[in-house]
Amino acid sequence: MVDFWRFAMSDLRVNNTRGYLAEFLVARALGVDAQRVEWDDYDVLWDGLKIEVKSSAYLQAWAQRGPSQIRFTGLRGRSWGDITAGLAVEKTYKADVYVLSVLSTRDHASYDPLDVNAWQFFVLRREVLAKLNFDSLSLATTRGLTDPVVFADLADAVRAAALPTEHTD
């Protein structure tokens, strides 16, 4: 297993591997030990709450002219029905809560994706995204919707996002 990890996933700057790490960090912050399920409609299930995790970073595995722009893509997707129905026609927001994760390191010398203090987490309810009706969000738009939280506060932020909103007339 270690040889496979070295071969395929040892560089945590690679987008899909960093995404897996972000899912792992969110799961650990919530105390979830379940194994991830590829191609599920959400990444983490916590007390019946479906959580989608997206990640982005300034630094990539390839040579860059400058830091990457932070963008969270694939917020909506098409659900898989079954072998007969295939993919749904409509894209929808499939999770209850979205955790948008940013690995905020900007120089390769101090890059340590396992340092949870290098991550920022933005937690949004599905309803917030549905009102916008966007497939992706920039960091600026995300910051306009919510403030970042640190790893230690992530469980509380997800719990708060899961609470019903109060409507005042």
- pLDDT tens across 22-63, in order? 999 999 999 999 988 888 889 999 999 999 999 999 999 888
Of the pLDDT bands very low, low, confident and very high (cuts 50, 70, 90), residue 168 is very low
Long-range contact set of residues 25-32: C-beta below 8 Å, sequence gap at least 24: 25/101, 25/116, 25/119, 25/151, 26/51, 26/53, 26/99, 26/101, 26/121, 26/154, 26/158, 29/151, 29/154, 29/155, 29/158, 30/154, 30/155, 30/158, 31/155
Q: What is the mean pLDDT of the chain?
A: 92
Tell me if residue 27 falls in helix, strand or coil: helix
Helix 15-29 to helix 154-162 angle, to the nearest 10 degrees?
Answer: 80
Give the pTM: 0.91
Q: Is the pLDDT of residue 135 over 70?
A: yes
- pLDDT tens across 72-130, in order? 999 998 887 777 888 888 889 999 999 999 999 998 889 999 999 999 999 999 999 99
- pLDDT tens across 56-84, in order? 999 998 888 999 999 999 999 888 777 78
Q: Could you tell me which residue, 13 or 49, shows the higher pLDDT?
A: 49
Q: Where are the domains of the chain?
A: 2-162
Q: What is the DSSP letter of 44?
A: E
Rounded to whole angstroms, the Cα distance separating 157 from 14 reads: 27
